[in-house]
Structure 1
């Protein structure tokens, strides 16, 4: 019995946070409402880790994040923000504040999109959306802001 319950719980979690199908026996409207609430909460968590990205998108932040995150399981707020910023950069829609924040993060840490970010040990230069950041001896400095 406990295996069946665990499987049903896993199906419900997948429907709520990873875009999985609605499990049998659940009403669609309450599950959809809970899913939207979890996406809003997740957007707030990511905005705390990526404040310039969120500020750069302004009122479009919640919709931009939830559209991107819908159907994607979370990798944690830091990584979700990093992945979103890279996706926006690749689509040429990253706002200047987000470009500066991403450049600083890329200069400070290595992140391959699969494993958690790791601090860089050697000096590094990062360019994103016109912003240029450098990291030397563990200190990151924005050399050139993104064009506005």
Structure 2
């Protein structure tokens, strides 16, 4: 589909999902309400795929996710959670529980930040924000320091 209608639809989708400006002819308040609802829905979907990441943030989870995702179109809930966890690890704010979940994912799957997530076949060691996970034969073990 091409033409003015397609251009207006693309501009509206960008405003709803990627933080683009509201296109002319649309009620900015209503677009913001819909955008907020979509971000809340995305936060719930990511929380289902990354339960420890969401739990580690507690009641701040929806706001934390929305602040990170506001200007990012979705790449799917698994990749969105992975990208958020990596961003928080890089900035030193990833909670311990979430770091363990990220390390376990990094040991089990390959994800380069752009392509599809793929299962690892060979043994792997992964570190994330102080957490360490080892995967051998499809089983993942977290290595924890004694308390």
- TM-score, normalised to structure 2's length? 0.94
Structure 2 counterparts to residues 1-148 of structure 1, below 5 A: 3-144=3-144
Q: Secondary structure at the match of 2:133?
A: strand
Distance 1:128 1:114 in 2: 19
Distance 1:2 1:100 in 2: 47
Distance 2:72 2:131 in 1: 28
Distance 1:31 1:130 in 2: 41
RMSD over equivalenced CA pairs, Å: 1.7
Equivalences, count:
147
- 1:7-44 Cα distance to aligned partner (Å, 9 max, x none): 11111000000111111100110001100010000000
Q: Does the Cα contact within 8 Å between 1:130 and 1:144 map onto a contact in 2?
A: no
Q: Secondary structure at the match of 1:141?
A: strand
Q: Does the Cα contact within 8 Å between 1:100 and 1:132 map onto a contact in 2?
A: yes
State the shift of 1:57 in Å.
0.8
Distance 2:102 2:52 in 1: 9
Distance 2:39 2:113 in 1: 21
State the shift of 1:3 in Å.
2.5
Stretches of structure 2 lacking an aligned partner (at least 5 in a row)? none
- 1:49-79 Cα distance to aligned partner (Å, 9 max, x none): 0000000111111111000000101000000
Q: Secondary structure at the match of 2:142?
A: strand
Q: Does the Cα contact within 8 Å between 1:124 and 1:136 map onto a contact in 2?
A: yes
Stretches of structure 1 lacking an aligned partner (at least 5 in a row)? none
